[in-house]
Structure 1
Amino acid sequence: MRVGEQSTDPIDQVLGEVPVPAQLSPEDVRLAVRAVVVHAAEEWPAGPLCRNDGATYPCRLHRWGRRVLAAHGLNERQIDALVRHGNPFVHVPFPFTVNSSAPARTPAAYPPRTPAGHPVRGQAAARVVAPGARPAVRPAGPGRPVAPPATAPRWPRAS
């Protein structure tokens, strides 16, 4: 059965569809993500069933979650990726926009590179810090300390 088709499950026919809220809140989006991940399909000899409640796939909550996420702005591929990811607590930004995950970077923000695409050695690349963030302060020194090589085995060998 496809996501948009009418269900033949008796419970679905009695209870009907779960309504989508008129105004979506961040809590609605979190619950929708949890619904589509927890109520994902599981293959059985009789066909796909809901992994959580054993109803015919897609169950009421899975369909509701897909409708809420679609109303939030996600497309089918993004919703399927959430289901494949398998984490019911994954964060979907609110409000969702396609390019909301990271601010735009200018070419000056990238470190200098060689023609092969590797960072240039010997030149200190300036770190760009987001506005309002504190730059990380690291202690001065040549780098991380390296332990000397062991001359004898640390544990006796089993013989």
Structure 2
Amino acid sequence: MALFFKNGVNYALLCTVLSVYWLFSNTAVVNGEQTFIMVKPDGVQRGLVGKIIERFEARGFKLVAMKFTMPSGDLLKKHYAELSSKPFFPSLMKYMSSGPVVPMVWEGANVVKAGRIMLGATNPLDSSPGTIRGDFCIETGRNVVHGSDCVESAEREIANVVKAGRIMLGATNPLDSSPG
């Protein structure tokens, strides 16, 4: 139960409320570009989900899907497949399965590039102040958030999580909540 609460905030309820909010909002300009952002276990544990959402919303991006979830090993291996030959891969898998994550899909003009700039460098020490990693991280191995690095990666990552029905997906018709 402690995983769902941090500083008096019920993150499962927060994710549900934000998903319902999306279903009934139509305030963002849609250009068809989407990106995949995932708050990692340390970001969830430290209560940074709301702050990260606020930053994307402040830029005018629209949250179109999100879920508070414990990722499976299979999903993580598929998501990080291109890193499987790297020496740090086992520790990455251990870290990413150490707690819940919050995968999200954001939509808006140039959201992939803007999202990467907002996140900052993978190594937080190389990240500028004002970026998510620059403000909230000090260690590369626990860098709070993942973001797609290009449109093709975003499409693949969204398909791995959203199209597989592992995340609540808002649809054009609010009554159609099929996973796409």
Structure showing greater Rg: 1
The answer, yes or no, to whether TM exceeds 0.5 is no
In proportion to residue count, which structure has more helix? 2
In proportion to residue count, which structure has more strand? 2
* TM superposition score normalised by structure 2: 0.22
* TM superposition score normalised by structure 1: 0.24
Higher relative contact order (CA 8 A, sep 6+): 2
